[in-house]
Every structure is written in C-alpha cells, then in structure tokens.
A and B are shown apart, each in its own frame.
Chain A
Amino acid sequence: MARIGVFVCHCGENIGRTVDCPEVSRRAALLRDVFYSVDYKYMCSDPGQNMIKDAIREHGLTGVVVASCSPLMHEKTFRRAVTEAGMNPFLCEIANIREHCSWVHEDRKAATDKALDLIRIMVEKVKHNVALESIRIPVTKKALVIGGGIAGIQAALDIADGGKEVILVEKSPSIGGHMAQLSETFPTLDCSQCILTPKMVSANTHKNIKLYTYSEVEKVSGYIGNFQVTIRKKARYIDESVCTGCGICQEKCPVKKIPSEFNEGLGMRKAIYVPFPQAVPNKPVIDREHCTKFINGKCGACEKLCGPKAIRFDQTDSFITEDIGAIVVATGYDLYTIDKKTDNTLKGYGEYGYGKYPDVVSGLQFERLVSASGPTYGELKRPSDGKTPETIVFIQCVGSRDAAKGVSYCSKICCMYTAKHTMLYKHKVHNGKAFVFYMDIRAGGKNYDEFVRRAIEEDGAVYLRGRVSKISQEDGKLVVMGADTLSGAQVEIKADMVVLATAIAAQPDIVPLAQKLGVGYDQYHFLSEAHPKLRPVETNSAGIFLAGACQAPKDIPEAVAQASAAASKVLGLFSSLELEREPYVAKVNENTCSGCEFCLMACPYNAIERREIKNRRGEVIKTVSYVNEGKCQGCGTCVSICRSKSIDLMGFTDEQVYSQINAMFV
C-alpha cells in the first residue's frame, strides 16, 4: 500500500499570498494514500528539507510530493534530500503550485482548489513511480569551443589549463574576434592588441588546445558527454605546416582593391591576405572570389615567389570529426545593419545617410581609424578626403532601444565605447570638438561612470541629451540636425565626421548553428540560457554552454567572466569519470512487441535497434526492438507511435500518465 507524504511550501509569501497553504495541506491529508501532510514557510530551506527527511523515516513513506515551485527549479534539491533519507530520488515528485498557480491567479479560492488538484495529480503519479537508478555514461574528456573571440579564447585557455583537451573552431582566418579590431578598451584605455595578443598566442601554443581557424561546425550529433562533431576546415589554399608566414605573397599579390573585412571596409587588402598584423595563426588565406588564378587561371605570382612552396591552389574543404564531451558556444556578436536593407524594406536609418555619405561611420569603423594597425595607421583621417576632422558628432542608440525601426533592447556597451571614442579623438586632435547625442548614459560597471565623467570634464566632450533627426551634406560639411532637450533648443551642428553607435546584434548565421546544437534562441537570435539568473552560462541542451555576446550584448569583462564560468562548468562535467544522467529512457516489453519497427524508424536519436530472441536451439523465435540506454534521450516519441503500448518511457510511464489524467477533474 502506498504511503505518500505531501509537503506544501509557502515560498515565503510567493505561494502563501494567493494559495491558502494550511488549508491545502489539511485537505491533502485527506487524499487517498496520503499518510502525512504538512505545510512550511520555506520547504527548500534546510529545516524544510529536514522536515521531509524526518517524515520519511518516521512514517515509512513510500513516495513524496513537494508542492512548491517549478520542478525545473528545485526538483534536484528535493530529490537529493529524499535520497539522504534513504528513499530513491525518483519517488519524489514536485507539484508546481507557484509558477503555474499562485503567481498566475488572483482569486484565492480558485488558486487553492487548483493547488489541491495539482497535488492530487502528483500524488496519483507518485503512487506509480518506480525506483530508478541514474544512467551512467562515459564522458569524452575533450571540449569544443565555437568562436575564437576573447570569450572563446578565455574559455579554451581555462579548460586547457584545467588539463583537458580543447578544440577551438574559428570561422574567420584568425582568432581575436571583434576585440582585435578595437584600438583601446574602456575603462582603462589599455590597448586591446597588447592585452589580447598574448592570450591569442598562448591559445595557439597551448599543448591542450587544437586550433581550427577558417573552419566551421558542420554537423553535431550525440548527446552530453558523447557528442560527435564534424568540422569543415575551409580550403585556405595554403599548406599551413609549410608556410613560414614571411609575407612575400601578400606583398607581391597584384589584386589590391578588396575592402578588408577586418578594417570594416575602410582599408584594402590583397587577394591573399592575413586579416591583421598580429593575426594568429599568422598564415595567409587566398580569397577565391577575387584571386585571378581562380577567376581565369592566370597570375599565380604568390606560388612562384613562395620560398617554402606552401601555395596549394587545388586544396579543397576538408572535414574532421571529433568526439566531444562538452561544447562552449562563444560566437560573439555583429553590428546591427543600419543602411538600407538589401531587400529594401524601408527599415534602417536612411536619414543618417550611412552608406551614402562616406564620413558617416560605425563605431567599429571609427575604432579602425584610430587604431595603430588600422588603414590610417592611427592617424585619424576621415574616409572621404583624408582630412583630420575638427568636429565629430557621436550619435548613441542607433537601432538600440527603438522597437519601431530597430531592436527594442539596450546594447549595454555603446555609452562606454562612445565616451572612449571622444577621449581617443581629443587625445589625437587636441582642439577637436566632440558632440555626443544621447538619451541616457548607462555606465554601470566598476569605474565606468567615472570614465564617462572624465570624458566630459577633462576631455571636454559636449553631451547633448536629444535625438538626431537628419544628417545632410552641405558643401563638404555634414549638417547634423537634432534637439537638445535639456535646453529645449533645436541644434544644428556642421560636423566633419559622424560616428554612429549602432546596436549589437546576433551573428547573422547563428540560427542554423543553434538548430544543429538544439539550443534555443529568442526573437533577436540571441541564444537562450537555461535560466536568466541562476544558470546564465548553461543551455537547455545538456552539455552545451554559452559565453560572451552570443547570449546577449555584453562588454569584455563580462564576456571573459562568462567564458571562465562556462569553462568551470565544462571542467566540472569532466571531473567525474562517468556522467550521471536521468534514467528517463524507454524500455521495451519483449513479450508483446510484434517487431513492426515503427519505433525504430521514428526515433530521432537512432537509439532503438533490432534484437532477435532465440530459443535454446538458436532458432530465431521473433525479432523485437531494443533501446540503447546510452543513446535514448527520453523524448517518448516511440511510446506514442507503438500501437500495442509495448514500449514505455521510465519517469513518464503509461500508468503514471493514466493515473494523472484520472485525477485531473475530480
């Protein structure tokens, strides 16, 4: 006979305010097979958990129902508690009377009745729970980091320092990401190259890190601890092992006029190029679209002049498959496109003339202009005529906080880097005038606000609180028309250059990768973390972690912090020999299975195989389906496809679901 214990939590007053917990506990005690029912203010606290443990020992409970918050929150906590009291963890179920009841209903009576219903449903389920043991599966002690920006590099280094192998995959020819494009970084103005390059070099030389640049993740299969990842190494048309990185080929390549992606289109690069001087690996890549050898078979200058003969025009994409235990996604961000969209939907900021007036540039373009490794070698020259701009207007929130024309969220870092831009500008052009149009300055980090005050007070940046309505060009000058809401006046500034602090957006091609990994994403294609506050670097797919701007706009300190957090999660996962996985796997009843293999065909994980049942003489009596527990993820598709219900999913068995439905509307 089942002896069930019901433990109703007030959750402070989160539940108690709308659900009459003592009443619920009293009525729960009257439920069939419930032998102990109590309510307490904080069931997940130690006294609360001890109350459960004592009740199990004293009343010899065979099943526990905790009526509290969502199982996704504290199921593990309560299951650990009952285990300590000697009860199998899977005999404890959670009735969600907070997120699904007290928080979403106001009528006290209806909420209390519903809470009791939810408890009754779970009591009926628990009576059919079976003691299960967690499934142990081996863990491949090798991690994959996707994205070679600062977040990816930091995560790779931390994992490698933890003694585990790491595969670092970077889509572009060199690691470094957007940080490599920056000149100096806030709030300390130390040059990004100086603090980044050492990490890039150690990432390249670390004995535990294998670097695949100019490569992308092609296919991901398997599950936590047992991923199989296929990486597409795009053809560089250079044999990296032979090339010494001497740079002759780049000098002599006749094709010059290709806008450099690294320089955000301001500088030019050759058909064979290394993105930037401190690139790691310092091996060039041949750009197939623009290289005359590929276009009409002529030239081949680089091949002739290459000392160690490292040019391979016949090279093709190669595929490498790696066994991976955990994956860290650190694919970073991209700038929100603000010029006229290609499919000329009339979004975008045509009124600022970005793409029409050459002197209207994006934040990253400005970074390149002031960067020593930039197209103007650190001399601030405006793109149209190379003159040094006397007046620059910086416009904040271009695309951010603008649900109508752009994105509705705040991109978090633009206030800081715009203040930095004004400082860099004043350091280079002492008598230059810098104007900043802003809505609110958000500088919440350590020494952040002081940094902005310094830009205003010491470096004399003029901050105008208002929006810019239009930028037009009048005889070589950019006429910026805007408002200054503090003085209430229309403002018109004749500027030499305008820098737009465009919004931070997700990488344009992140969605196919997210779908390959089975990771969720929100409507702006930022990857979804498991829990915004409590599990920011984990995802709902076990074994896949997030770091950096791919999860949401953030600055370098936060990206690095997340990278180390993700790395610690990976190292935690790798610390145990075997991984314990919830025993929610399917099991076949071989007596009634007729071997029609519908489940085998439907299983998304190919976790079901054919098995022959033989008699003593070795003759095959019948063939049935067999579930490989390692592969089965417990989705249950097979259970509903099986017509004779010969396969059942532990944890959500037919009997459990049946009894729950029976108890729904009593």
Chain B
Amino acid sequence: MSNDIRQIAHALLSEGKVSSVIGYAEGSLKGRVQTLIAHTAREAEKFIFNENCVNNLAVYLTKSYGLINKDKPAAVFLKPCDIKSVTALIQEHQLRREDVFIIGLSCQGVKNGNVMAGKCMGCSIHNPQYYDAIVGETVEEKEPGISDPFAKVKEIENMTTQERWDFWMEQFDKCIRCYACRQACPLCYCEECIVDKTQPRWIESSSHPIGNLSWHLIRAFHLAGRCTGCGECDRACHQNIPLSLLNMKMGKEIFELYGYRPGMDTEAKPPLTEFKMEDSEEFIR
C-alpha cells in the first residue's frame, strides 16, 4: 500500500499537476504517524500508509496558510471518513471541489494508540465516496463492528439528570482551555472563534466552571448538524474528555428529528438553515 502511495505522490508532484501533496509519514513515537506536506517529488519518498494513520488530513485544507492556491489543486490522502469532512467543507463554501485533488484510500479501520479507533467500530463506509485517484482495492462493505455506535450516548441518556450533570462537570473540570479540540477539527475554520471575541464576551475564556461549561456547550451546538464524526477532537484532547459524545448526541438528535446526516452531499442545505412545516414542536406550549 505504501509504495503505491509514493508512486502516485511522486507522479503528481513531478508532473506539477498539484501544488503539494498532504500525506502521512513515519512517526517519531511508536504507534504514531506524522503528517507530511510535500512540495517536491523528492519528498514523496517519505509517504507511508498503515493502521496508525488515524489523523484526518482534511483539517489542513482550511488551517494551512497558502496551501490552497487558485491555479493548482492540493492533493491529499483521504480515508472515506475524512472525505466526509471535505464534503462538509465544500458544502459550507470553504473549498471548491476543483481546489482539492482527492487521493481516496480504501480503509479497513485504523488504530488510535494501540486500540481500534472509536470511529472505526461504527463505520459503514470503507470505500472512498468520490475521488480523483484511488489507492488500495475495494473493501466489501461489512456491517459496522459494534451493533450500535450510539451505545455510550444512550448510556448517558439513561442516567438521571443529576448523574449526567455530575458526569459532565467532572469531565469539564479537567479542561484547561487549550482549544486543541477546536484546532484539530476540520470544521472549526472560523477566522475568529466566538470564544476569542471580547465585545461582548459571550463565552468566558478563563478555565473556570462557567467558562468550561459554556465553551463545550457552544462548541457542541456549533457542530450540530455539521460534525462528520472524524473523532479528531477526542484524539487531540490530552485530558481525555469524551468530546465526541456531545457531537454524536447532536448528530443523533438531528438525524432522528430531521433525517439529516452531515458530510454526505455537497449540495444539501445544512439542517439549521432550513425548516419544514411539520418539524416537531411538541415541547412548545
């Protein structure tokens, strides 16, 4: 798998079809991989692909300065779950399809640390949805590993209100507001995040109980109907706060209420920008 990757990257760079190639390279720690943004064909040799390539490289399409320039597209190696992030970015007008040369990777599931990544257990898309080039033979779609990806969400839902409050207060207490969850998320591309705004300061930026609670609430709400479940926020959080539970809960509610799955269709209108007459309102007096 790794040498096909190197061949494609080398070809693209040497023919000058793309301005750069974003891929994975050998990590400095066991079980880790580094990202590599190659601009010259020579660097293409370092590209690899193995079971530790859990990073979602789509995050660089909005975060790296000057990566996307108008004349030549940037190539990027994307697993099917990462392609969902690109779909969402195109849908939200942050990218044009022609700016990205997608090298699709069919994927059997990757590891986070030494255990299968959470997002892979419930994954049902193993082959890239759309791509400009593809690496690896097609994987037959098999039932997701675990029966219900929302098991943990349901577990928390069944707690009493007080238990849920205590659970989350204990988690949010660990938060030191390093915003790694924001920086690692491909869909958090705002020029100036609401938490950095001071006039008015809607979200207190200090790491105290009020600040932490409102930060995590607003982050989850801002990703409602947008988060594609790539799990990067969970992985980036060194305090192991189960952030993706909040996003999965939002995803579950939006699907149950409005039957919308994010990251599926670049033309779809995001759920919170439209409405239907028969939307549920049983909670309104």
Which A residues contact B (CB, under 8 angstroms)? Answer: 591-598, 601-602, 619, 623, 641, 643-646, 654-655, 658-659
Which B residues touch A643, using CB under 8 A? 190, 194, 222
Is B162 interfacial (CB 8 A cutoff)? no
How many positions in chain B have a CB within 8 Å of any CB in the partner chain?
20
Q: B178-220 interface mask toward A, CB cutoff 8 Å, 1 = contact, 0 = none?
A: 0000000000011111100101101000000000000000000
**Complex interface: chain B residues within 8 A of A591 (CB):** 191-192
Interface check B284, CB cutoff 8 A: no
Nearest first, the 10 closest Cβ-Cβ pairs linking A and B are: A658-B200, A644-B190, A601-B273, A602-B273, A592-B192, A596-B92, A643-B222, A592-B191, A597-B93, A655-B200
Residue of A593, A594, A641, A654 near B200 (CB, 8 A) is A654
The CA of A597 and the CA of B95, in the complex, are separated in Å by 12
Q: Which residue of B lies closest to A128 (CB)?
A: B200
The yes or no answer to B257 lying at the interface (CB within 8 A) is no
Task: Determine the residue in chain A with the shortest Cβ distance to B222.
Answer: A643
What is the distance, in angstroms, from B276's C-beta to the closest C-beta of chain A?
Answer: 14
Considering the complex, give the chain A residue whose CB is closest to the CB of B218.
A643
Q: With both chains docked as a complex, state the minimum distance between the C-beta of B201 and any C-beta of chain A, in angstroms.
A: 8
Task: Determine whether the beta carbon of A595 is less than 8 Å from that of B93.
Answer: yes
Give A599 Cβ to nearest chain B Cβ, in Å. 8
Q: Is the interface of A mostly helix, strand, loop or mixed?
A: loop
Q: Which residue of A lies closest to B275 (CB)?
A: A602
Chain A residues with CB under 8 Å of B191's CB are: 591-594, 644, 646
A594/B197 in contact, CB under 8 A? no
Asked if B92 contacts A597 (CB within 8 A), the reply is yes
**How near does chain A come to B156, taking the closest CB pair, in angstroms?**
25
Residues from chain B with a CB closer than 8 A to the CB of A658 are: 200, 202
Q: Closest B-chain residue to A603, C-beta based?
A: B273
* B-chain residues with CB within 8 Å of residue A623 when the two chains form the complex: 93
Q: Which of B13-53 contact A (CB under 8 A)?
A: none
For the complex, give the distance between the alpha carbons of A522 and B224 in Å.
Answer: 37
The CA-CA distance from A204 to B222 in the complex, in Å, is: 58
**Shortest distance between the CB of B262 and any CB in chain A (Å):** 13
Q: A596-B92, A644-B197 are in contact. List 15 more A-B contacts (CB 8 A).
A: A592-B190, A592-B192, A594-B190, A595-B94, A602-B272, A623-B93, A643-B190, A643-B194, A644-B191, A644-B194, A645-B197, A654-B200, A654-B202, A655-B199, A655-B200
Interface string of B82-93 (1 = CB under 8 A from A): 000000000011
Verify if B154 is at the interface (C-beta below 8 Å from A).
Answer: no
A645/B202 contact (C-beta < 8 A), A592-B190, A592-B191, A594-B191 known: yes
**Quick check: A641 and B93 within 8 Å, CB to CB?**
no
With a cutoff of 8 Å between Cβ atoms, the chain B residues found around residue A602 in the complex are 272-274
Alpha-carbon distance between A335 and B56 when the two chains are bound, in angstroms = 68
A646 and B192 CA atoms in complex are apart in Å by 9
Of A592, A593, A623, A654, most B-chain CB atoms within 10 Å? A592
CA distance A601 to B222 in the complex (A): 16
Across-interface contacts of A596 in B (CB, < 8 A): 92-94
B270 on the A face (CB < 8 A): yes
Q: What are 27 A-to-B residue pairs whose CB atoms are below 8 Å?
A: A591-B192, A592-B190, A592-B191, A592-B192, A594-B189, A594-B191, A595-B93, A595-B94, A596-B92, A597-B93, A598-B272, A598-B273, A601-B269, A601-B273, A601-B274, A602-B273, A602-B274, A623-B93, A641-B272, A644-B190, A644-B191, A644-B193, A645-B194, A645-B197, A645-B202, A646-B191, A655-B199
Question: Which residues on the B side are within 8 Å of A619 (C-beta)?
Answer: 70
Give the residues from 79 to 126 in chain B that come closer than 8 angstroms, CB to CB, to chain A. Answer: 92-94
Interface centre among A592, A623, A644 (most CB of B within 10 A): A644
Of the candidates A595, A641, A644, A655, the one whose C-beta lies within 8 Å of that of B192 is A644
CB pair B270 A601 closer than 8 Å: yes
Contacts of B93 in A (CB 8 A): 595-597, 623
Q: A residues within 8 A CB of B193? A: 644
Which chain B positions have C-beta within 8 A of A644? 190-194, 197
Complex-state Cα separation, A591 to B269, whole angstroms: 25
Binary flags per residue of B265-285, CB closer than 8 Å to A gives 1, else 0: 000011011100000000000
Alpha-carbon gap, A592 to B70, bound state (A): 21
CB-based contact A598/B92 at 8 Å: yes
Which residues on the A side are within 8 Å of B94 (C-beta)?
594-596
Chain B residues with Cβ below 8 Å from A595 are 93-94
Q: B173 → chain A, closest Cβ, in Å? A: 25
A508 to B245 CA separation, bound complex (whole angstroms):
51
Q: A655 vs B272: C-alpha distance in the bound complex, in angstroms?
A: 24
- Which residues from chain A contact B272 at a C-beta distance below 8 Å? 598, 602, 641
Minimal beta-carbon separation of A528 from chain B (angstroms): 21
Among A595, A643, A655, which residue has the most Cβ atoms of chain B within 10 A?
Answer: A643
CA distance A619 to B202 in the complex (A): 35
Q: In the complex, how many angstroms separate the beta carbon of B183 from the nearest chain A beta carbon?
A: 15
Cβ distance B258 to chain A, nearest Cβ, rounded Å = 15
Cα(A619)–Cα(B66), bound, Å:
14
